[in-house]
Structure 1
Amino acid sequence: MNTNVYSVEILYSGKYESWEFASREERDAFYEKVIREFNDQKVDKQEGEIDDTKIVQLSSNNLELQENGEYVQNMTIEWFDYDVFSKMLDYINHEYI
């Protein structure tokens, strides 16, 4: 039984979707593929400068069980222009296997 969770998540204005992957490597490759596809609409600002009503947050999330029984979670986040949400959601749903 795999107790680790590797996911890609998209969040925009209260709308949230998540996709899980069997391995970190598989998830990382997919995450990078989505970033490349929408790179021209990426928002490169500091977190405090971002109006969260005008962005789509794409993240990769790792939740891994440690030997001591505790979970460690870390996340990588990229931001994109808000108007890309529907296109990104369609792309992810189409490309996700």
Structure 2
Amino acid sequence: MEGNIFSIEIISQGKYESWEFKNEVARDELFDKTRERFSEYAIADKGDDVDDTRIAQLSATSLKIKEDGNVDQQVPYEWYEAEQFEQLLNFINNEYPKY
């Protein structure tokens, strides 16, 4: 059975929220809109030594389950200052119904 899951997720300090979409196009539109809206809070350095208590991660998951049972998963992500978690959550919650 083939199945696809397209979602946006935010995670920070144990807090997690996700939204599912019917297709990749809609998901990508909201992901890109969110990235643009919060670009000034982005953390460019995604090194292993970054303190994860200081970041909020926004990711766009494409999970494609193929007929042979193999899974193809792509997860581009962006990091933001952790203080932006609630603002990210509110922004996505307000925009999501349009998709």
TM-score range, shorter chain: over 0.9
How far does the alpha carbon of each residue in 1:3-44 deviate from its partner, in whole angstroms, 9 at most, with x for none?
Answer: 200000000000000000000111011100000010000001
> What amino acid maps onto 2:72 in structure 1?
V
Where do 1:1-97 residues align within 5 Å? 3-97=3-97
> What amino acid maps onto 1:86 in structure 2?
E
Please tell me whether the aligned partners of residues 5 and 62 of structure 2 are also in contact (alpha carbons under 8 angstroms). Answer: yes
Gaps of 5+ in 2: none
- SS of 1:53's partner is helix
Structure 1: 4+ residue segments shifted above 6 A: none
How far apart, CA to CA, are the structure 1 residues paired with 2:5 and 2:46? Answer: 28
> What amino acid maps onto 1:8 in structure 2?
I
> What amino acid maps onto 2:94 in structure 1?
H
How far apart, CA to CA, are the structure 1 residues paired with 2:84 and 2:2? Answer: 33
Q: CA deviation at 1:49?
A: 2.9
How far apart, CA to CA, are the structure 2 residues paired with 1:46 and 1:83? Answer: 17
Provide TM-score, normalisation by structure 1: 0.93
Provide TM-score, normalisation by structure 2: 0.91
How far apart, CA to CA, are the structure 1 residues paired with 2:46 and 2:28? Answer: 23
- SS of 2:90's partner is helix
Q: Number of residues paired by the alignment?
A: 97
> What amino acid maps onto 2:66 in structure 1?
Q
